[in-house]
Structure 1
């Protein structure tokens, strides 16, 4: 049995957190023994323990924008070496065969690769648009130290290749689409319970969005576009679900202030992070994700597809591989608020189209983004690396 050590960037329960949980939970335990180390405590730690996974918390630093200054980099560098040595000891003591780094924000993988004989799999969930120096740095490190780079979409792979560091190493990169367990989202859950709990009217058509509130996820574009929709359709409400990074609570307050100025603010519901994501998805009639920057492969879209929802989003990033335009959703020009509103309204008006897109979403998720294929593809990568 081969031991695999997983390093991740946090302990929440958003996209990359969920797919890590799904992967280590569903690996063939006759072949692999997963050990997960996280930089902080949180609900992901609890979820992993509930599944019987060996999970530990070591406060290694994760590269964030807040470190991009002299004081920040000094603190980051000190802790980087301090905790990398602790991780190196675990690798040697546990006789770890493979290191799976689940984000480009955890650079400790470079140190561990340099000072051990471990095989390094780097799982890339990000499209780093800015700062460019960070994109160039991480791309160079990935190309130099990885035994295998896994990207979550062709969009991420193309972006990495554009760095120029994989010119003679294109075979190093493999695309493995994230998968979701459709059984979780097809459960006969009571969406009315979720609506009642959050004071959402039960007789209204719900346009929903789920995502961590940050600078690029698109919550402001969602509110701007939905403002016109709500004004034109009294039978609709809008629901946003998602929290913020610690220390960025001001983003949520800023969003609340924007909502408070909307003439139909009483029909816009903002909900912080919830564990009942399947119930939230079930309560939606239309799912919208207008990410301003290219979103690598947003798991929330797969979840929405697994609950049979039509999708509306911006035409860039990984969503273009998830949504087949005219089949299970609609994609519009990025930042075109007016067009976004128009396409949402089309689905409000045309119930038949809405239902057809929803049914097609179910089929597309099952055929291309299943949990089984996601786990199987990673097991093949592990097998090939060890051999």
Structure 2
């Protein structure tokens, strides 16, 4: 039990240990909660996120847990999911009782077992939703709503994300709060180069996956070259395990188009700022929904002109920035047009990007994020300012409500 004067104990749970966008947001979330609570972070395995969290003074434990991934749709993946569920249940319950006395913060809706186990352990939970699969089949959307349905409170990282969730389970809107991601800014904003001497330096940052659109970035480069625009492209990121075929396919596309000397695959780097500083224009060409758009915000924070897919949370993330253009996804002709507009009005766009960087720093300041996130968890635990928190539903009631709302 927590003794007099001790800080309430909160367990933070996250489905991975890499250092991509969602992982960096988790690090900010855990640091934010640590300003008010005694935080323990549970991860499913080792990875670079462990060192990042420990460097922030956070306690990290590894705990076997089921994580909903696309691989679970295949027999081997389904068996692994089942094994993780069964073998991870008791360790998770012990951890909830020892480190989650004040509640559990579940990061992403791919961890539905944790709110359920929290109820079994008599703990309250908050689910932080970062996914917005608006075009997913209805059955999948119902499944994705289970985690927030079982949780006592919900945090969404954008209005779009909340709207998609509420489209499946409208009653969740009553217990939800929108909190925009904290995005750490570079220590120093380096304006883009004054003159575009030599090739235009295009940059894609993100997972190498079909939905993120690196193939669109390559096609955009090809279109620019066909128009006589001297340009090069860097791809910063790596693939999910099991998607190695896509990187092979992407490299084959580059080679077949004769672009090997103009496209550079940099792989994964935990520090994106030096690469952003060496770029001229950042492309975020996702071809499917994004709940928010961390890479888009990072481009703005780095004072780089941005071309981003027009739709979903990406539109929301890029709204109000003069140096950002939203373009129909998947159309390299329009993307090349957008890049040419940047090049043709370089002085104006370059100056606007510096102004936008200051605004992005204000919007996504970690201090603002800390205050909003702590307020939500304070209300959940009852250890802070009073707030209306719906009474917990029993697991069967919650699941039935989601199913009924989606009919």
Aligned pairs for 1:50-89 (under 5 A) are 50-89=55-94
Residue of structure 1 equivalent to 2:174: 171
TM score, norm. by length of structure 2: 0.86
Q: Distance in 1 between matches of 2:78 and 2:357?
A: 45
Stretches of structure 2 lacking an aligned partner (at least 5 in a row): 1-6, 383-407
Q: Distance in 1 between matches of 2:64 and 2:146?
A: 25
- SS of equivalent residue, structure 1 residue 104: coil
Aligned pairs for 1:252-263 (under 5 A) are 252-263=247-258
Aligned pairs for 1:76-225 (under 5 A) are 76-128=81-133, 129-143=135-149, 145-163=150-168, 165-166=169-170, 168-182=171-185, 184-186=186-188, 203-225=198-220
> Does 1:348 find its partner at 2:343?
yes
Could you give the per-residue CA deviations for residues 95-145 of structure 1, whole angstroms, max 9, x where no partner exists?
5312111111112223313312212110111112334322112214422x1
Taking a change above 3 Å as real, the CA distance of residues 233 and 18 of structure 1, as seen in their structure-2 partners, is farther
TM score, norm. by length of structure 1: 0.90
Residue of structure 2 equivalent to 1:296: 291
Question: Does the 8 A contact of 1:230 with 1:237 survive in 2?
Answer: no
Could you give the per-residue CA deviations for residues 268-289 of structure 1, whole angstroms, max 9, x where no partner exists?
1111001231111111111110
- SS of equivalent residue, structure 1 residue 366: helix
| Greater Cα offset, 321-330 or 6-15 | 321-330
- SS of equivalent residue, structure 1 residue 89: helix
Match 1:45 to one of 46, 50, 59 = 50
Taking a change above 3 Å as real, the CA distance of residues 307 and 255 of structure 1, as seen in their structure-2 partners, is same
Question: Does the 8 A contact of 2:296 with 2:308 survive in 1?
Answer: no
Q: Distance in 1 between matches of 2:94 and 2:321?
A: 53
Taking a change above 3 Å as real, the CA distance of residues 326 and 278 of structure 1, as seen in their structure-2 partners, is closer
- SS of equivalent residue, structure 1 residue 216: helix
Question: Does the 8 A contact of 2:32 with 2:374 survive in 1?
Answer: no
Taking a change above 3 Å as real, the CA distance of residues 308 and 66 of structure 1, as seen in their structure-2 partners, is same
Question: Does the 8 A contact of 1:309 with 1:357 survive in 2?
Answer: no
> Does 1:336 find its partner at 2:342?
no
Could you give the per-residue CA deviations for residues 128-177 of structure 1, whole angstroms, max 9, x where no partner exists?
2334322112214422x1111111111111111111x22x3422111110
Larger relative contact order (CA 8 Å, sep ≥ 6) = 2
Match 1:18 to one of 24, 37, 59 = 24
What value does the CA root-mean-square deviation take over the aligned residues? 2.3
